[in-house]
Amino acid sequence: MPELPEVETTLRGIQSHILNKKIDEVDIRQPNLRWKVPVRLIQKNLIGESFSLIRRRAKYLIFESLTGNLIIHLGMSGTIHLLDKNNSINNTNSSFYNSPNLPSKHNHIEIFLKKCRLIYNDPRRFGFIKIFKNKKTLLKFFNNIGPEPLNKKFNKNYIFDYFINKKKNIKSFLLDQKFVSGIGNIYASEILFDSKISPYTKGKDLNTHQLTRLIKSIRKILVKAIKYGGSTIRDYASSDGTLGNFQSNFFVYNKEGKNISKFAIKKVIQYGRSTYYCPELQKEQKRK
DNA sequence: AAGAGGCCCTGATAGC
DNA sequence: TGCTATCAGGGCCTCT
């Protein structure tokens, strides 16, 4: 679920409230996430400390402290919420939060900070949490993950080189976190529609004009989605419980059968994931 | 090495 | 109403 824009929205919602606040307690109710949560290691390294930097890389949130760097991946259904200490539902002008519709059943991890409480909720438990004791191991982890799509390193030369000797189609590459990080299944469809590229076109068959359009569309769609606070499909809400509303800007995702200037949107399955596209406006390109 | 498919898990929804 | 089947935004692992 949460792709780059949703993770970025979450980051912006929480960072000022928890930065440099003392961590009083870390309560791990459900350690069986995608991988077993290292309960004692996290508690040992974080309790009594504070987060000096909170940032995003790919679809991960990174919480840095002197004694350990926590990373959180939200998987398919993970969300982060911030409550004030008394759980009170407030507060229109402050940014403490509540999510009245959130079933606490899936509140797997709670971090108690001075004056507030950070909650990790994840019904499907596809998300995960890891801790790296030093910067070096943290960097090593992210070295295996591809460039940020909004970074200059993600450019035409990089893409061109990456596609050499590879046969996959472009939809698959957009989901491949080693190629580019942060794009997921929703924005992949939207990006390909915006760039007028068929999801079936092989990466190496894209010409230079298409690559230029692709990069431009990636930036345009992601920046716009961040501006709208991400997307809500079923239950995604940012950390303040408000719902992102980029989905009202979807052109193709979840719009099977709808028309765009008389052309129908089609849903197909690629690599076991749904792709939405408009065959007439996104013609497949084959290089001889 | 690259690529395709299976799998982890719960909840919402559709169809009978 | 209540069963069952299908599907969902991710990414690791295994097999070829």
DSSP character at residue A131: E
pTM above 0.85, yes or no: yes
**Cα–Cα distances in angstroms (integers) from residue A284 to residues A201, A259, A263, in the given order:** 5, 19, 16
A3 is catalytic: yes
Has residue A244 got a pLDDT over 90? no
Query: Which of residues 26-55 of A have CB within 7 Å of strand C?
Result: 34
Question: A139 with A162, same domain?
Answer: no
First to last CA, chain A: 37
Q: Are residues A66 and A184 in the same domain?
A: no
Q: Which of A80, A109, A143 is the last residue of a domain?
A: A143
Residue A50 or residue A241, greater confidence: A50
Pick out the nucleotide with least CA–C1' distance to A79: C9
Same domain, A122 and A161: no
Identify whether residues A36 and A70 lie together within a single domain: yes
**Which member of A213, A224, A266, A273 is catalytic?**
A273
Same structural domain for residues A108 and A175?
A: no
Q: Are residues A22 and A133 in the same domain?
A: yes
Residue written as tokens 């912006």? A12
Residues in chain A: 288
Does A34 qualify as catalytic in the annotation?
no
Which pLDDT value is given to residue A185?
Answer: 96
| Same-domain check for residues A128 and A216 | no
User: How many structural domains compose chain A?
Assistant: 2
Q: Which nucleotides of B are covered by protein (CB under 7 A)?
A: 2-12
Name the more confident of A240 and A244.
A244
Decide if A288 is inside a domain. no
Q: What pLDDT, on the 0 to 100 scale, is given for residue A242?
A: 62
pLDDT confidence band for A36 (50 / 70 / 90) = very high
Tell me if A262 is assigned to some domain. yes
Q: Which residues constitute the domain of residue A173?
A: 156-277
Q: Does the active-site annotation cover A279?
A: no
Last residue of a domain, one of A122, A143, A164: A143
Q: How far is CA A262 from CA A142, A211, A257, A280, A283, in A?
A: 44, 27, 11, 10, 16
A23 and A137 together in one domain: yes
Distance A96 CA to C16 C1' (A): 52
One domain, residues A188 and A62: no
- At residue A115 the predicted structure's pLDDT band, cuts being 50, 70 and 90, is confident
Domain end (from A143, A165, A184) = A143
Q: What is the CATH number of the domain that holds A28?
A: 3.20.190.10
Q: Is A78 near strand C, with its CB below 7 A from some atom of it?
A: no
Residue A201 pLDDT level (bands cut at 50, 70, 90): very high
Residue A41 shares a structural domain with residue A86: yes
- Whether A98 has a pLDDT exceeding 50, the answer reads no
Contacts of A267 (CB under 8 A, 6+ apart): A256, A274, A275, A276
Residues A138 and A160 in one domain: no
What pLDDT does residue A236 have?
46
